[in-house]
Amino acid sequence: MYFLIKRIAAVIPVLAVVAVIVFLLLRLSPGDPAVIIAGDSASAQDIENIRRSLGLDQPLFQQFFQWIWRMLQGDFGTSIFSGMPVLKLIMQRVEPTLWLAALTMSFAIVFALPMGIWAAWKAGTWVDRLVTALSVVAFSLPVFLIGYALVYGFSTQLGWLPVQGFKSISEGWSPFIRHLILPVVSGGLIYTALLARMTRATMLDVLGEDYIRTARAKGLPLHRMLLRHALKNAAVPIVTTIGLGIAMLLGGVMVTESVFAIPGIGRLTVDSILRRDYPVIQGIVLVTSMAYVLINLVIDLLYGWFDPRIRY
């Protein structure tokens, strides 16, 4: 319980620091949203009126504390361009991003763990060399290149899958899966390569331990030795890679969503940055940061489950 309380308590200052940094970076960066909203033909008075209505004429510390107070009440502000509440705007885009991140990481785990385990068990053989070579190639290719290649092959040439877009699961499983296969594969190949290499490296270290040699000498079944003994003791760095991968996917799917025209958080982030829509950018960064912190909290708790020594 003390371990859990200590980890949760560490979340609060991290979020506070993130909030300050995000606020200052956006406010002190070049460009004035009032000028963008007013347009080229606006007078100085029009611009000043817009700045006053947005609260941009107030001192920075006053703007910050007002923003924090509203955020604690669940009010993330209103989009400068759409006029919609920021939280509502984000929630409308969350579903595609969550599904894309979850399925991409699931794809990576399903393929990467067996590849990494088998490569470590067959270290130095053609299996190991093949897994390593495939991992290097997949990790070296940019997401947009993989995405366009898949679109050209499976959509343009064969016509098996849609080129772009997203269908909610409420519209049926078939259109939902068909629209996500290519984005998931294009993003999942890179994380599969990363996770497979990490699994192989950690499993190699564990397989050289005395207790593994003892288990082999006693005739323990191969699958039980690899999964229950070796993989569990190699799980800490693997879980770290999976957790960081999920966090990166939640905050960094801009390329995938742009290639496949998926209306998720990534597309919303790009549009908001181009428009200098301060409230939306701040809301997205804070929500993403909270997701990072929560994922890291889950990773810390899993550390304690896999290795009880970490709790003390």
State the residue for tokens 């005395």. Answer: 210
Q: Which burial class, exposed, middle or buried, applies to 13 when counting CB atoms under 10 A from its CB (0-12, 13-18, 19+)?
A: exposed
pLDDT band (50, 70, 90) for residue 101:
confident
Within a domain: residue 104?
yes
* 303 vs 103: CA distance, rounded Å: 23
The pLDDT value recorded for residue 4 is 64
The CATH number for 251's domain is 1.10.3720.10
Within a domain: residue 23?
no
Within a domain: residue 69?
no
Within a domain: residue 255?
yes
- Please state whether 236 falls in left (phi above 0), alpha (psi between -120 and 50) or beta: alpha
Within a domain: residue 43?
no
**Over 60: is that where the pLDDT of 310 sits?**
no
Query: Which residues are CB-contacts of 296 (< 8 A; sequence separation ≥ 6)?
Result: 243, 247
CA dihedral sign of residues 266, 284, 80, 96 = positive
Within a domain: residue 50?
no
The pLDDT value recorded for residue 1 is 59
Tally of domains within the chain: 1
* 239 vs 243: CA distance, rounded Å: 6
Name which of 57-66, 183-192, 235-244, 246-255 the model is least confident about.
246-255
Tell me the angle at which helices 235-251 and 173-207 cross, rounded to the nearest 10 degrees: 150
| CA distances in angstroms from 66 to 82, 281, 289, listed in the order given | 21, 17, 20
- Which residue type does 149 have? A
* 52 vs 50: CA distance, rounded Å: 5
| The model scores a pTM over 0.85 | no
Of the candidates 72, 73, 55, the one whose C-alpha atom is nearest the C-alpha of residue 63 is: 55
202: containing domain: 86-311
Within a domain: residue 62?
no
- Which residue type does 196 have? A
**Residue 161: how many CB atoms within 10 A of its CB?**
16
Within a domain: residue 261?
yes
